[in-house]
A and B are shown apart, each in its own frame.
Chain A
Amino acid sequence: MTSAPETTAPIGMIRTDTPAIGRSMPRAETRRLLAGRGRYVDDGAPRGCLHAAFLRSPFAHARFTIADTSTAAGLSGVVAVLTAADLAPVCRPWQCRSGAFPGLVSPVQRALADGRVAFQGEPVAMVVAESRARAEDALDLIAVDWEELPAVASLAAALSAEALTHPELADNVAWRTEFGSADFDAVFAGADFVVEERFAFERKTGVSLEPRGVLAEFDPAEGLLDVRISHQMPHQLQLHIAEQLDLPIGRVRVACGDVGGGFGIKMHVYPDELATCAAAKLLGRPVKFVADRIEALATDIHAREHQVDARMAVDGEGRILGFDIHDVQGLGAYSVFPRSSTTEAMSVLRAMGGPYRFEAYRARLECLLQNKSLTGQYRSVGHPIACAVTERLVDLAAARRGEDPLAFRRRNLLPVEAMPWTNPAGGRMFELSHHACLDAMIGLVDLDAKREEVRAGRAAGRLLGLGFASFVEFTATGSQAYGAAGVKVAAGDTVVASLEPSGSVRAQASASEIGQGVRQALAQVLADGVGLDPSNVRVETGDTRTAPHGGGAWASRGAAIAGEAAWRAGRRLRGEILAAVAALVQAKPADLDIRAGEVVEVATGTPRMTLADLADLVLFRSHELPAGVRPQFTVAEQYHRDDDPFLPTNGIQAAMVEIDRATGFVRLLGHWVVEDCGRIINPLLVDEQIRGGVVQGIGEALYEACRYDAAGQFTSGTLADYLVPMAGDLPEIAIGHVETPYSGSSVGAKGAGEAGTCGAPAAILNAVNDALAPHGASLAALPIKPVSVLRALGDLGAGEAP
Chain B
Amino acid sequence: MTVDEETLTITCTVNGEAVRDVVPVRRSLVDWVRHDLGLTGSHVGCEHGVCGACHVQVDGRVVRGCLMLAVQADGARVETVEGATRSGRVAVLQDCFFERAALQCGFCTPGILLQAAELLEHTPAPDRAEIRAALSGNICRCTGYQAIVEAVEEAAGRLRA
Contacts and interface: CB of A to CB of B under 8 A. Distances in A.
Most buried by B among A45, A517, A718: A718
Most buried by A among B40, B100, B104: B104
Interface residues of B, number: 60
A692 B143 contact: yes
Contact of A692 (B2, B82, B144): B144
B144 A38 contact: no
Contact of B105 (A42, A134, A260): A260
Interface stretch (A9-17, A24-32, A466-474, A566-574): A24-32
A730 B148 CA distance: 13
Given A26-B99, A30-B97, A36 B41 contact: yes
A726 B145 CA distance: 8
Given A35-B41, A691-B143, A719-B50, A26 B107 contact: no
Contacts, number: 188
Interface string A122-134: 0000000111011
A682 to B, nearest CB: 9
A211 B53 CA distance: 12
Interface string A407-422: 0000000000000000
A40 B42 CA distance: 11
Given A36-B41, A37-B41, A720-B48, A727 B136 contact: yes
B45 interface: yes
A208 B104 CA distance: 12
A517 B147 contact: no
A45 B98 CA distance: 29
A694 interface: yes
B80 interface: yes
B2 A36 contact: no
A207 B40 contact: no
Interface stretch (B57-65, B70-78, B108-116): B108-116
A78 B67 CA distance: 26
Contact of A263 (B2, B131, B141): B141
A668 to B, nearest CB: 12
Interface string A691-727: 1111110000000000000000000001110001111
Contact of A209 (B24, B47, B53): B53
Contact of A40 (B26, B107, B139): B107
Contact of B144 (A42, A261, A733): A733
A687 to B, nearest CB: 8
Interface in B1-19: 1-5
Interface string B22-35: 00101100000011
Contact of A26 (B1, B42, B98, B144): B98
B139 A35 contact: no
A36 B82 contact: yes
A685 interface: yes
Given A27-B101, A43-B34, A134-B2, A724 B141 contact: yes
A77 interface: yes
A691 B147 contact: yes
A514 B105 contact: yes
B105 A130 contact: no
Interface residues of A, number: 61
A209 B97 contact: no
B141 A208 contact: yes
Given A209-B140, A263-B141, A726-B139, A133 B24 contact: yes
A603 interface: no
Interface in A656-703: 684-685, 688, 691-696
Nearest to A689: B104
Nearest to B113: A34
A799 interface: no
22 contacts: A26-B98, A30-B98, A30-B106, A33-B103, A33-B109, A34-B94, A76-B4, A130-B2, A131-B2, A133-B5, A209-B43, A209-B51, A209-B142, A210-B105, A260-B106, A261-B104, A293-B45, A517-B101, A692-B142, A695-B145, A720-B48, A728-B135
Interface of B: 1-5, 24, 26-27, 34-35, 39-48, 50-51, 53, 80-82, 85, 94, 97-101, 103-110, 113, 131-133, 135-149
Given A36-B82, A718-B46, 12 more contacts: A34-B110, A77-B2, A129-B2, A133-B24, A134-B5, A210-B107, A696-B141, A718-B48, A719-B50, A719-B139, A726-B137, A732-B146
